[in-house]
Chain A
Amino acid sequence: MNYNLNLSASATEKKKSTLAALKRLLNLIKEEKRTLILATIAILINASLSLLGPYLIGYTIDTYIQTKQFHGVIVFSGILLTMYIIAFITNYLQIQIMGGVGQRMLFSLRNVVFNKLQELPVDFFNQNKAGDLISRINNDTDKLNQFFSQALMQFINSVFTMVGAGVFLICINPELGTAALLPALIIWIFTKTISPWVKRKNAANLKSVGALSAEIQESLNNFKVIIAFNRRDYFRQRFNEANKANYSTSISAGLANNIFTAVYGLSANIGQLIVLALGIYLITTGKFSIGLLIGFLAYVNSFYHPLRHLAGLWASFQVAMAGWDRISQILSLNTNLIVVPNKCSEPTSSYLSFRNVSFTYPNGKEVLHRVSFDLERGKTYAFVGPTGGGKTTTASLIARLYDATKGSVLLDGQDIQSFTPEERTRKIGFILQEPFLFSGTVRENIMYGNAEYANLPEDKLTQLINESGLEILLSRFDAGLDTQVQTTGDGISLGQKQLIAFMRAVLRKPELLILDEASANIDTITEQLLDSILQKLPATTTRVIIAHRLNTIENADEIFFVNTGTIIRAGSLNDAVNLLLHGKRDS
């Protein structure tokens, strides 16, 4: 399945309308309906009060100051004060409420995206770059937040003021009003035509931001090699390329976004000119008065002023929609590892069986070709063979990190696809070739994802560790369970990481335990210890060991030789060694 976000066809093939995209976005805040209504009321009150204020001041001047009645001035000042206090409250409320909506939306949007990432299979992460994904979760969601928390309320406010002023214009004089609004129509057409282009520019920009982030991420995580090979210049050069690409897309996006402000300003002025010229003409024909014209011009201003404001908001809307597109791209992906009802149940004594399994990676390389074998409960199996022969792939199919391209994998007589992830992961333990630690303590790492022991008191945990024979391994860490470990860096050796991964898997007491070169970087004496710990596992535990060291596999009940996509059963260790040393190979 194609999971590459930057190549995915779905992004270009269906051109979704902005409205539909917006609708899906609003779906995220549907439980905020009441808050949004409240905010809208606050915005409307606030907008009305700010329209009313100048009018009342004008009225006071006309009726009281000109007639020298100071009493009236005081009365109206009192009214204005009350109004301004209300405006203060509604103003505060609207910012607070809408800002809160923005923050909560950002919060749930990030959660949704992160959750989606957790649902997607390993394949997705092999096809996408970490830095790009980080950029999508952090940067693109923030673009949406900026629009929602800051722009949306100004948007509503401006639209409200505009509509009010527009209605006034038409009411005062339909002819002049229509003429005054003509440039607005041109703006509308202009906006509609140009918006997709602006959005594309912003999408290109966000993409280059993701690429830049991916570049930094990769270089910084591999900094050791960059220094050891003295290629600091190379880091700079690759960074500069990404930086330059980002610079040019940012410039085009910036220029595109700013077009709105200039064009809106121009048409606002043209609107005024039309009113002035046409108004004067109407006056000469006797249909209009100077007084009305002055008032009319004021309303034209209050129509076009918010429109100018809208120009900036519209640009930030385009940025937000481009960000939303990148996020929905992730959200629209689905895992291809779905749980399906059991199809091929067969009564079998085997714990795990491969039936004519073929597997091809998305890049088109076939790694396994019509492979069949059976693993019995309680036995130890060794998988040997040259590198690139398909050992890790076989193990990944057993753990269902991928699904077989053809054929089926049976677990306990049932299609492995019919197990829920919980059931499957409880049965199958898999120590990966490249151990991974989360930053935290050794305790957190060996208890990681282990729901059963999650709330185990300290003494019980110690007891459990002693029972499994793991305490000797634990003594290899200075502070035992409380030793701090990091994902990156040299505080902890690869061998120690493998020890932690081993403890993590053993404590889960799986029915089938796969060790994929799990002790490759551990010294042979400690390895014997690991072996004795494996012996302590319940007698029904099936073990699958992938290794290159012969002493690691000499105790296996059966040995499989994996090479060029086939799996052959070797009769004895001698057989296996012969195959390894002299067999035809392709790696």
Chain B
Amino acid sequence: MYNSPSPKNSPRQNKPNVFNLLKPYSLMVSFLVLFSLLSNGVNLFIPKLISHGIDSFSSGEFEYKPLLIEFMVASLLIFILTYGQSIIQTYTSELVARDLRTRLANKISQQSYSYVIKTNPSKLLTNLTSDIDSIKMFVSQAVATIFSSLFMIIGTCVLLITINWKLAIPIIAVIPVVGVTFFIVLRRVRELFKRSREIVDWLNKVINESIMGSAIIRVINSHQAEYHKFLAANTDARNLGMAILRLFAALIPIVTFVSNIAMIVILMLGGHFVISGNMSLGDFAAFNSYLAMLVFPILMIGFMSNIIAQASASYTRINAVLEVAEPLETGTVKQPLSGNIELVNISLSYDDKPILKNISFTVKALSHAAIIGPTAAGKSQLLNLLTNLMKPDSGTILFDGHNIDSFDKESFHSQIGFVLQDSVIFNMSLRENIAFSDKVTDQSLEKAIATAELTDFIDSLPNKLDTIVSERGTSLSGGQKQRIMLARALAINPKILLLDDFTARVDRKTEKKILCNLENNYPHITLLAITQKVASIKHFEQIILMMEGEVIAAGTHKELLETSTEYVQIYNSQRSTSHYEL
């Protein structure tokens, strides 16, 4: 039921109300409120029992047994109600947190790659952890307290009015004063809480970078520089914490002071009424004790306002993620790819700087093509477009004559093997890292491992395929990681294989073997490889030369040697050692 966001919530985006979050849990919340009201109610009963005991003793009708029984029953009832309330409270708050987290994670998992990068993983991490935590705190502490406090306030106000309405007016006048104070403080603090969440994002980012870059930091001994970055973020966090504190530090004392003033007013005014004979002393005493009962819930609401303010700041942030539209899935084509790739007038910019300019070329099914070109020519971005990780600003990408967007996503990705330039290794077993898709059979896993020349390496490990790789693959060498990435792409038996500089960290002999294996084991594959090494792709049907986002030339090795001076230049830069090639 939590999957459908409440309809009231979605149209207003600016200030989502954190209380709306509780709607799906209204049953649990009502029980929570009920239990807390009941335990408060029974608690009020205890003084009555005591006064009754004393009264009956004074009048000489005292008996131990009924008193003991009644008292014990009430105490046990309170115990059960209190702990019952805690149990419901714990379950409700954890459920709300768990469900919200699931909702958020589902939402993120449906988003595009560019969305996650743009939003920044550090911020999403804060959303899923600290932000959810403050909402959890809101449910577990604030909800029951606020309802029971409001109940108490209204109840005592009614009692006060029935006793003496003239005297009740100055007391009830306190409530709007307190209310306005809360309103002002909360309005100012909302912005601060929002910023404090952003600082947590910032802290996360600094810590994250200092962990990811831990090697370079140690190589150039730049601990100090990192510490200064952290200090800047941490100092801001402290200053903001202090600013929030200054606002809240005044809130509770003001509330206490105002209610104390009300006490004095009662004393003087009530004293006057009693002295002038307009009020009985008993009423006056009752009035006083009820007033004391009024102050405590007001104070509690004061404490809770802090938690509510934090939770609404967090909820606003979470809602911003939840409300982003998911990328539309319109693709329906599920037919098996034969491997024809066609790019028509593709352009792409990144932060207003053009990366790809009007790129057009075709790769025929089952052919082998290579893209070669200098650093930052836009080669890797091209592969991002071909795997639909990103969308071009203009132009069309066709696979077998169908627009890339018309394909069913699952069927499309299951036919395209993609080896990234940088190694992405997960902290799990080698088997899971390679058989990353759930459709991989043992047979295709075996074939992929053999093709990537990993068999010997895996056999040398004590736990073979079940060896757990550390996060970021720190226990593996660069070449091993690249070959794992290749095996991962091959394990899905792709129709089209896209390689991004995958042999950069693999030695010559292994590279030759892999290319040979590829041709033998996967004869029906369309290959598009980005590379820097002319020698490995000389025999490819097509070589596309890219520079600064444009296709400079395309053709076979032979043709390019005759037509493209740039290609000749690249070739010559590698020629000096080419006589070693076999």
The stretch that binds B, out of A5-13, A275-283, A339-347, is: A275-283
B342-363 contacts to A, CB under 8 A, are: 350-351, 353
CA of A526 to CA of B375, assembled, Å: 8
Per-residue interface assignment for chain A, residues 109 to 141, with 1 indicating a CB less than 8 Å from any chain B CB and 0 otherwise: 011001101110110111101110111011100
* Contact of A168 with B by CB under 8 A: no
* Contact of A159 with B by CB under 8 A: no
- Interface contact A229-B113, CB-CB below 8 Å: no
Which among B125, B200, B234, B456 has the highest number of chain A CB atoms within 10 Å?
A: B125
The stretch that binds A, out of B56-64, B167-175, B311-319, B519-527, is: B56-64
Besides A212-B128, A554-B576, 17 more A-B contacts (Cβ < 8 Å) are: A88-B254, A130-B208, A228-B418, A231-B436, A239-B109, A247-B98, A262-B86, A273-B72, A290-B54, A399-B219, A421-B221, A439-B205, A449-B222, A450-B220, A494-B380, A495-B374, A548-B507
* Contact of B509 with A by CB under 8 A: yes
A42 vs chain B, min Cβ distance (A): 11
* Contact of B117 with A by CB under 8 A: yes
- Interface contact A476-B268, CB-CB below 8 Å: no
- Interface contact A488-B256, CB-CB below 8 Å: no
The stretch that binds B, out of A93-101, A324-332, A349-357, is: A93-101
* Dominant SS among interface residues on chain A: helix
* Contact of B27 with A by CB under 8 A: no
Q: When the two chains form the complex, which single residue of B116, B130, B224 contacts A223, counting CB atoms closer than 8 Å?
A: B116
Q: Which of chain A's residues have a CB closer than 8 A to the CB of B108? A: 220
A411-467 contacts to B, CB under 8 A, are: 421-422, 424-426, 428-430, 432-434, 436, 438-439, 448-451
- Interface contact B505-A129, CB-CB below 8 Å: no
Q: Which of chain B's residues have a CB closer than 8 A to the CB of A493? A: 375-376, 379-380, 421
8 contacts between A and B (CB under 8 A): A218-B471, A226-B109, A425-B219, A429-B220, A438-B209, A493-B376, A496-B376, A549-B577
Q: When the two chains form the complex, which single residue of B209, B284, B423 contacts A439, counting CB atoms closer than 8 Å?
A: B209
Per-residue interface assignment for chain A, residues 35 to 58, with 1 indicating a CB less than 8 Å from any chain B CB and 0 otherwise: 000000000000000000110010
Q: When the two chains form the complex, which single residue of B260, B422, B479 contacts A388, counting CB atoms closer than 8 Å?
A: B479
- Interface contact A528-B573, CB-CB below 8 Å: yes
- Interface contact A139-B230, CB-CB below 8 Å: no
* Contact of B305 with A by CB under 8 A: no
Q: Which residue of B lies closest to A436 (CB)?
A: B213
- Interface contact B284-A61, CB-CB below 8 Å: yes
- Interface contact A222-B58, CB-CB below 8 Å: no
Interface size class of A (residues with CB under 8 A): 35 or more
B22 vs chain A, min Cβ distance (A): 18
- Interface contact A77-B268, CB-CB below 8 Å: yes
CA of A155 to CA of B98, assembled, Å: 31
Per-residue interface assignment for chain B, residues 303 to 335, with 1 indicating a CB less than 8 Å from any chain A CB and 0 otherwise: 000000000000000000000000000000000
CA of A562 to CA of B245, assembled, Å: 61
Q: Which of chain B's residues have a CB closer than 8 A to the CB of A117? A: 207, 210-211
- Interface contact B205-A489, CB-CB below 8 Å: no
- Interface contact A551-B573, CB-CB below 8 Å: yes
- Interface contact B509-A580, CB-CB below 8 Å: yes
The stretch that binds A, out of B75-83, B154-162, B178-186, B550-558, is: B75-83
Q: Which of chain A's residues have a CB closer than 8 A to the CB of B110? A: 232
A58 vs chain B, min Cβ distance (A): 9
The stretch that binds B, out of A16-24, A250-258, A371-379, A536-544, is: A250-258
Contact of A387 with B477 at beta-carbon distance under 8 Å, contacts A258-B83, A508-B220, A554-B577 already known: yes
* Contact of A569 with B by CB under 8 A: no
Q: When the two chains form the complex, which single residue of A220, A478, A496 contacts B375, counting CB atoms closer than 8 Å?
A: A496
- Interface contact B237-A107, CB-CB below 8 Å: yes
Q: Which of chain A's residues have a CB closer than 8 A to the CB of B394? A: none
- Interface contact B238-A107, CB-CB below 8 Å: yes
CA of A355 to CA of B573, assembled, Å: 38
The stretch that binds B, out of A26-34, A169-177, A185-193, A263-271, is: A263-271
Q: Which residue of A lies closest to B506 (CB)?
A: A387
- Interface contact A524-B510, CB-CB below 8 Å: no
Q: Which of chain B's residues have a CB closer than 8 A to the CB of A80? A: 260, 263-264, 267
Contact of A438 with B249 at beta-carbon distance under 8 Å, contacts A232-B110, A363-B475 already known: no
Q: Which of chain B's residues have a CB closer than 8 A to the CB of A262? A: 79, 82-83, 86
Q: Which residue of A lies closest to B492 (CB)?
A: A229
* Contact of A70 with B by CB under 8 A: yes
Contact of A95 with B125 at beta-carbon distance under 8 Å, contacts A118-B227, A240-B102 already known: no
CA of A273 to CA of B74, assembled, Å: 11
- Interface contact B225-A448, CB-CB below 8 Å: yes
* Contact of B177 with A by CB under 8 A: no
Q: When the two chains form the complex, which single residue of B414, B416, B457, B507 contacts A384, counting CB atoms closer than 8 Å?
A: B507
CA of A383 to CA of B367, assembled, Å: 36
- Interface contact A222-B256, CB-CB below 8 Å: no
Q: Which of chain B's residues have a CB closer than 8 A to the CB of A421? A: 221
